Amino acid sequence: MENFSDIDEYHLTIEIHYINNLYIDEFDPCLNYVNEVELKIKASDEHNDNIEIGTGHLYLLELETAYYNDIDIYDLIDHYSYLENYFSSLINFEEGLYVFDKTENEIENCILISEVKLINEFQGKGIFNEIVRHIEKIFSSNYPYTFLQAFPLQYEGYLNKQEHLDKIEKYHKGHKKISKKKSIDNLKSAYGKAGFIPSKIDHLVMYKYNGE
């Protein structure tokens, strides 16, 4: 890839790839209300044409639709361990209410952004904000809430201490070393600039509402 002549002057495109389309499953109706989506994030300038600069992953969750179709929301979330880790403390499952800010809000369909990765050259350039705006432009009419977690990727998914240390060491080869707390604070600050608000129940979960 040629160096971008000016990273502040580029055209960003985001490709949407559905991992599974919503469909009718009579034997496991919970599957009808969750859709996984992969993102391919590309940039162009006068020297480069649609160079992939990052990837993303999100879930489209039809929680309101499921609830009013008498689907057990807990069973739906329980199908996906990743979703259970997110929503187990944020939803009153019996009443079908969000409780993430210590008040009760009617449950609505939502987007869960589970991952966005950008190459080093394009980090800290406000591209995440553009990605969020793009996602919301496409989906927010049907999914008014957007959730994400302010937890650094380099600290996720290790099985033992040595594996964790190896992952951190590999990550820091291309990044300035900072503490876990500072990494979390930096993410919260970046997500806040994109309009996300910290949950009062789980300090790592942030949300924004695009409904009326």
Residue with more model confidence, 108 or 166: 108
Per this entry, what is the length of the chain?
A: 212
Tell me, what's the pLDDT at 103? 85
Cα distance between residue 10 and residue 119, in whole Å: 15
pTM for the complete prediction?
0.81
Is residue 142 in some structural domain? yes
Q: What is the CATH number of the domain that holds 58?
A: 3.40.630.30
For residue 162, pLDDT beyond 90: no
For residue 164, pLDDT beyond 80: no
Reported as a single tens digit per residue, the pLDDT across 20-45 is 755 556 667 777 888 999 999 998 87
Tell me, what's the pLDDT at 210? 85
Cα distance between residue 93 and residue 42, in whole Å: 39
Q: For residue 57, what are the β-bridge partners?
A: 38, 115
Cα dihedral 78/82/84/85 (nearest 10) = 160
How much is the average pLDDT of 187-211?
A: 89
How much is the average pLDDT of 172-190?
A: 73
Is residue 195 in some structural domain? yes
Is residue 3 in some structural domain? no
Chain mean pLDDT for the chain: 81
Residue with more model confidence, 72 or 172: 72
Cα distance between residue 63 and residue 111, in whole Å: 10
For residue 163, pLDDT beyond 70: no
Is residue 196 in some structural domain? yes
Cα distance between residue 149 and residue 204, in whole Å: 5
**How many domains would you assign to the chain?**
1
User: What is the Cα 148 distance to its own chain's centre?
Assistant: 5
Tell me, what's the pLDDT at 8? 59
Residue with more model confidence, 126 or 5: 126
Domain that includes residue 201, residue range = 11-209
Evaluated on CA atoms 133, 88, 26, 109, the torsion sign reads negative
